[in-house]
Homo-oligomer: A and B are copies of this chain.
Amino acid sequence: MQSLTRGKLAKIAGVNSETLRYYEQRGLLPDPPRGESGYRLYPQESVDRLRFIKGAQELGFTLDEVKELLLLRVNEDADKGDVRLRAQRKVAQIEQKIQALQCMRDALAQLIHECSGEGPTSDCPILEAMENHTFYPTTP
Contacts and interface: CB of A to CB of B under 8 A. Distances in A.
Interface of A: 45, 48, 51-52, 55-56, 58-60, 69-70, 72-73, 75-76, 78-84, 87-88, 90-91, 94-95, 97-98, 100-102, 104-105, 108-109, 111-112, 115-122, 124, 126-127, 130-133, 135-139
Given A60-B60, A91-B108, A83 B51 contact: no
A78 B133 contact: no
A90 B76 CA distance: 43
Given A51-B136, A80-B117, A84-B112, 16 more contacts: A55-B104, A59-B60, A59-B101, A59-B104, A72-B126, A73-B121, A73-B130, A76-B120, A80-B115, A80-B116, A80-B124, A83-B115, A91-B105, A91-B108, A91-B112, A98-B101
A105 B100 contact: no
